[in-house]
Amino acid sequence: MKIALAQLNYHIGNFEANTRKIIDGIQLAKSKGADLVVFAELAICGYPPRDFLEYEEFIALCEQSVLEIAAHCNDIACIVGSPVKNDILQGKDLFNAAYFIEAGKVKAITKKALLPTYDVFDEYRYFEPATNFACIDFKGKRIALTICEDLWNINDNPLYVSNPMDVLIKEKPDVMINIAASPFSYTHDDERIKVLGDNASKYQLPLFYVNQVGAQTEIIFDGGSLVFDADGSMKAEMKYFEEDLQVFDLAEVENVKNKYPEQQRANDIEQIHDALILGIRDYFQKSGFSKAVLGLSGGIDSAVVCALACRALGAENVMAVLMPSKFSSDHSVQDALGLVNNIGCMHEIVPIKEIAEAFDETLAPAFKGLPFNLAEENIQARIRGIINMAMSNKFGYILLNTSNKSECAVGYGTLYGDMCGAIGVIGDVYKMQVFELARYINKDEEIIPVNTIVKPPSAELRPDQKDSDSLPEYEVLDKILYQHIEMKQGTAAIINQGFDEALVKRILRMVNIAEFKRYQTPPILRVSPKAFGMGRRMPIVGKYLI
Q: Is 545 annotated as a binding residue?
A: no
Across 377-389, average pLDDT: 96
Asked if the model's pLDDT at residue 346 lies above 70, the reply is yes
* Domain locations in the chain as residue ranges: 2-265, 271-467
Q: What is the DSSP string of 371-423?
A: PP-HHHHHHHHHHHHHHHHHHHHHH--EEEE---HHHHHHT-S-TTTTT--SE
465 residue type, one letter = Q
Of 369, 343, 353, 533, nearest to 442 by C-alpha is 343
Please report the pLDDT score of residue 499 as a whole number: 97
How many alpha carbons fall within 13 Å on the CB side of residue 293? Answer: 25
Q: What pLDDT band is residue 256 in, cutting at 50, 70 and 90?
A: low
Close Cβ partners of 39 (under 8 Å, ≥ 6 residues apart): 6, 8, 22, 25, 78, 79, 80, 81, 179, 210
| SS3 state of residue 534 | coil
Asked if the model's pLDDT at residue 261 lies above 70, the reply is no
As its CATH architecture, domain 271-467 has 3-Layer(aba) Sandwich (3.40)
Please report the pLDDT score of residue 464 as a whole number: 75
Q: What pLDDT band is residue 246 in, cutting at 50, 70 and 90?
A: very high
Which of 45, 148, 306, 408 is catalytic? The answer is 148
* Integer Cα distance of 121 and 534 in angstroms: 9
Q: What pLDDT band is residue 463 in, cutting at 50, 70 and 90?
A: confident
Please report the pLDDT score of residue 545 as a whole number: 76
Please report the pLDDT score of residue 470 as a whole number: 80
Active site residue 148: yes
Of 369, 376, 367, 306, nearest to 341 by C-alpha is 306
Q: Is 295 annotated as a binding residue?
A: yes
State the angle between helix axes of 300-313 and 431-441 in degrees (0 to 180), rounded to the nearest 10: 50
Q: Is 388 annotated as a binding residue?
A: no
Taking the CA atoms of 486, 487, 491 and 495 in sequence, report the sign of the dihedral they define.
negative
Q: Is 339 annotated as a binding residue?
A: no
Please report the pLDDT score of residue 263 as a whole number: 62
Of 142, 89, 148, nearest to 113 by C-alpha is 148
Please report the pLDDT score of residue 543 as a whole number: 80
Please report the pLDDT score of residue 156 as a whole number: 77
* Integer Cα distance of 258 and 206 in angstroms: 13
Of 188, 186, 118, nearest to 535 by C-alpha is 118
Active site residue 310: no
**For residue 363, which phi and psi values (nearest 5 degrees)?**
-90, -5
* Integer Cα distance of 459 and 404 in angstroms: 13
Q: For 469-490, how does the pLDDT look when each residue is reduced to its tens digit (9 = 90+)?
A: 888 999 999 999 999 999 999 9
Pairing of strands 219-222, 292-295: unpaired
Which of 41, 123, 237, 460 is catalytic? The answer is 41
Q: Is 369 annotated as a binding residue?
A: no
Q: For 279-316, how does the pLDDT look when each residue is reduced to its tens digit (9 = 90+)?
A: 999 999 999 999 999 999 999 999 999 999 999 999 99
CB neighbours of residue 398 within 10 Å: 20
Please report the pLDDT score of residue 28 as a whole number: 98
With vertex at residue 14, the alpha carbon angle to CA 10 and CA 16, rounded to the nearest 5 degrees, is 100
Q: For 66-110, how does the pLDDT look when each residue is reduced to its tens digit (9 = 90+)?
A: 999 999 999 999 999 999 999 999 999 999 999 999 999 999 999
Buried b (16+ CB within 10 A) or exposed e, 457-496: bbbbbbeebebeeebbebeebbbbbbbbbbeebebeebbe
213 beta partners: 222
Please report the pLDDT score of residue 233 as a whole number: 93
Task: Write down the pTM of the prediction.
Answer: 0.95
Please report the pLDDT score of residue 262 as a whole number: 59
Q: For 177-222, how does the pLDDT look when each residue is reduced to its tens digit (9 = 90+)?
A: 999 999 999 999 999 999 999 999 999 999 999 999 999 999 999 9
* 3-state per-residue secondary structure call for 55-121: CHHHHHHHHHHHHHHHCCCCCCEEEEEEEEECCCCCCCCEEEEEEEEECCEEEEEEECCCCCCCCCC
Dihedral angle computed from the Cα positions of residues 234, 239, 241 and 243, in that order, rounded to the nearest 10 degrees: -120
Q: For 228-239, how does the pLDDT look when each residue is reduced to its tens digit (9 = 90+)?
A: 999 999 999 999
Asked if the model's pLDDT at residue 258 lies above 70, the reply is no
**For residue 309, which phi and psi values (nearest 5 degrees)?**
-65, -40
Across 248-261, average pLDDT: 73
Asked if the model's pLDDT at residue 523 lies above 70, the reply is yes
The pLDDT > 70 percentage for the chain reads: 98
Are the C-beta atoms of residues 40 and 81 closer than 8 Å to each other?
yes
Please report the pLDDT score of residue 469 as a whole number: 80
Shared fold status for 2-265 and 271-467: no
Which of 112, 286, 405, 431 is catalytic? The answer is 112
Which helix (H) or strand (E) covers residue 354, if one does? helix 353-367
Range 2-265 has CATH code 3.60.110.10 = yes
Q: Is 299 annotated as a binding residue?
A: yes
Q: Is 298 annotated as a binding residue?
A: yes
Active site residue 21: no
H helical segments located in 224-299: 250-255, 268-287
Asked if the model's pLDDT at residue 368 lies above 70, the reply is yes
H helical segments located in 139-238: 164-168, 188-203
Across 321-330, average pLDDT: 86
Asked if the model's pLDDT at residue 491 lies above 90, the reply is yes
- What is the overall mean pLDDT for the chain? 95
208 beta partners: 177, 227
Are the C-beta atoms of residues 453 and 435 closer than 8 Å to each other?
yes
